[in-house]
Structure 1
């Protein structure tokens, strides 16, 4: 069975147009998904290119042969650019321009100077492989993020698309299935072209899965991140705190928690507006985060209340960390609309003990109680909840934790 070139191009063009429209709608709906613009533009340009290709025999051959194939190659290049932007990297415009420009020049030469459809097919296929090859390698490069189901599918589709073009080169050079002309493909060439179309559609499906993976990750991140400061929110903080309490219970490793809040925060909101208050909270979070280690967890619990979870840290070490943060906040220049805002904060620290067990809320309550004492003592200071008498740091123990003692029985060390 023979396939006509116009029929194949019509099928490809309609398919690309439909997916292009879908991607442009996605780009409008999800502005943060920059890659969708590249992929949408690629499909639309590819559809226009195939439509121009159908005009062969009705207009000057340079237009359908050189322009149409150049547009289709540029569309593939835009897909590569979308992958790069998805990874947070700049688009490879120089490489795309060089590959597409050279291919178009060679297509023109082997149409005008020496008319050879065989060479033109080879030129187009080699240029396609030169674009999709690096794209496939970069998709699986762990330097740009751990592979997801979407990136894996896209990488496989890239290989399929490149392999189809490689087979097409072999079939063309050795005339497997017979010679081809501008109007009719033999069965082998037609099937290989259909295989490239299939690979391109799976490639597009891979892009869709990549977008879904990204959007799902963003939603998951929003569930555990404070949208104002970008640090952990209350949910993530207490989940990590429960994990660390359980770890300390098993291993006997020290664990400390600091509660902090901004002193006299309400007058800032009332006097300068909530935007100024938000700015102060963002600056506070940045100053505190800069003085913590990677395993430490800084979270905004609500309003101007913050907490810091400090694995493998004693109460004495937590006290010093809190003092360092308070000193940084006290001396940091914070301005809002050319007005200097002087802020201070108060802190309370507590260390995990065996009676707390896995109860992270009890550890937080002790640190919060110490914070209350700092407020009572005049603000801009740290109060550390001392360990109960006789409560030395334990050896690893798998037994069940004892009931927590009454908060007031603990000694306080201002």
Structure 2
């Protein structure tokens, strides 16, 4: 069955144009950090290039091929820019503008020498796809692996397109500088490029979706104000640590810290100032913890600190350090300086299955209110403490 090259070029054009329009539409009003705008623009440039190549078959005009090659190089540069934007990396000028200038120069110098024009131009285009593949491999995406590997497969296919064409031209497997009559060395690369475009775009869109999903899952487990784990996420971690501690027979300690007289901060300076104080306290507490410790916001102005493999004596030392750190903290708000203190309660045990997470939280809560009842800005350990007569703020 004979293959009509103009028809094949139009098919690639339709696919590239449709995907470009779809990517631009899906990226509308989405933060530019995803690079969807660059990706969509690249597909539209590719479409324009293939329009010129299809016209050159009918009009036999080498200048159309020259301009088409330049648009092709610009399209691949846009792919690199999209990847750089996605990974928040700077894209060197020599990787974007350099290939475009080289393609324009080689296409002009060898305008009427089709054999050399094909070799020189497509060596540059092959280099561009090698740069794309290297960029994909260099950026470790973590949870974005599926999209990343689809993208890499597409880049390899596109690089293979130009490697085949260069070898075919060098070995004189048909006139690669002409699109008519078609030769298998022409047809195979164009089929590869069609597959490559599909894999590339699906991979890139999947990467953006997976990153958005990962960020949504992460934000659902973080407190929106302080950026630390919320109550639900903290309790999940707590149960997991207790189970590990029971198997390993090592101690677990829990701190509950509450900002003293926090209502006075809101009443005196306003709730926005209170939010600033909450953020500052969370940062101070986080800065004083070890890598294995977990800080969470329990509710209101209360924070929980989970200390794996820590006896009560070690927890008391750390709690005193955290208390002093917060006491020394100064929060600037509209020209005023706000200082606060915290009261800290401690509970701890060697888990044996008799007590669950909530029991430890209740004991830490009881110790924290005992610290408030004893004068605030104190640390108390839960050790058969009687419930406090009142619950000072």
TM surpasses 0.5: yes
Task: Give secondary structure in 1 for the equivalent of 2:344.
Answer: strand
Specify whether residues 357 and 214 from structure 1 end up closer, same or farther in structure 2 by C-alpha distance, changes over 3 A only: farther
d(CA) in 2 for partners of 1:355 and 1:179?
76
Give the secondary structure class of the aligned counterpart of 1:270. Answer: helix
Task: Give the whole-Å Cα distance in 1 for the aligned partners of 2:262 and 2:67.
Answer: 64
Q: CA deviation at 1:35?
A: 2.0
1:103 equivalent in alignment to 2:100 = no
1:233 matched residue in structure 2: 230
Encode CA deviations 1:247-279: one digit per residue, 9 max, x unaligned. Answer: 111111121111112222223233333222222
SS at structure 2 position matched to 1:332: coil
What pairs up with 1:300-319 in 2 under 5 angstroms?
300-319=297-316
Partner of 1:161: 158
Distance 1:119 1:8 in 2: 24
Structure 1 stretches of 5 or more lacking a match?
389-406, 410-414
Alignment-derived partner of residue 129 in structure 1: 126
Residue of structure 2 in register with 1:391 after alignment: none
Choose from 273, 282, 288 the match for 1:285: 282
Aligned mates of 2:273, 2:25 — CA distance in 1: 36
Tell me, yes or no, if the aligned pair for 2:110 and 2:116 is still in contact at 8 Å: yes
Which of these residues, 334, 344, 347, is aligned with residue 344 of structure 2?
Answer: 347
- SS of the residue corresponding to residue 346 of structure 1 reads strand
**Distance change (3 Å), C-alpha of 1:58 and 1:282:** farther
Measure the CA separation in 1 of the matches of 2:47 and 2:166.
23
Could you say which residue in structure 2 is the equivalent of 1:322? 319
Distance in structure 1 (CA, Å) of the matches to 2:380 and 2:169: 80
**Structure 2: how far apart are the matches of 1:60 and 1:344?**
80
Q: Is the 8 A contact 1:356 1:362 kept in 2?
A: no
Q: For the aligned residues, what is the CA RMSD?
A: 2.5
1:221 is the counterpart of 2:202: no
Q: Does residue 84 in structure 1 map to residue 84 in structure 2?
A: yes
- Distance between the aligned counterparts of 2:201 and 2:110, measured in 1? 31
Q: Matched residue of 1:216: which SS?
A: helix
In structure 1, the residue matched to 2:369 is: 372
Unaligned runs of 5+ in 2: 388-393
- Asked if structure 1 preserves the Cα contact closer than 8 Å seen for 2:46 and 2:72, the reply is yes
Inter-partner Cα distance in structure 2 for 1:272 and 1:60: 74
Instruction: Specify the alignment match of 2:391 in structure 1.
Output: none
* Structure-2 residue corresponding to 1:138: 135
Equivalent-residue separation in structure 1 for 2:186 and 2:259 (angstroms): 72
Q: Does 1:297 align with 2:324?
A: no
For the Cα contact (< 8 Å) 1:268–1:277, is it kept in 2?
Answer: yes
Q: Distance in 2 between matches of 1:127 and 1:2?
A: 31
TM-score by length of 1: 0.85
Contact 1:180/1:186, CA 8 A, preserved across alignment = no
Q: Please report the TM-score for the alignment, with normalisation by the length of structure 2.
A: 0.89
Which deviations, in whole Å up to 9, do the C-alpha atoms of 1:265-312 show, x marking residues without a partner?
223233333222222111111111111111111111222221111111
8 Å Cα contact 1:42/1:79 also seen in 2: yes
Report the CA distance shift for 1:357/1:103 in structure 2 as closer, same or farther (over 3 A).
farther
Residues 9-48 of structure 1 mapped to structure 2, 5 A cutoff: 9-31=9-31, 33-48=33-48
Bigger mean CA deviation after superposition, 350-359 or 226-235: 350-359
- Preserved CA contact (<8 Å) 1:150 1:210: yes
Question: What aligned pairs does 1:200-219 form with structure 2 within 5 A after superposition?
Answer: 200-219=197-216
Are the aligned partners of 1:242 and 1:358 in contact in 2 as well (CA < 8 Å)?
A: no
Alpha carbons 1:255, 1:352 under 8 Å: kept: yes
Rounded Cα–Cα distance in structure 2 between residues aligned with 1:358 and 1:184: 82
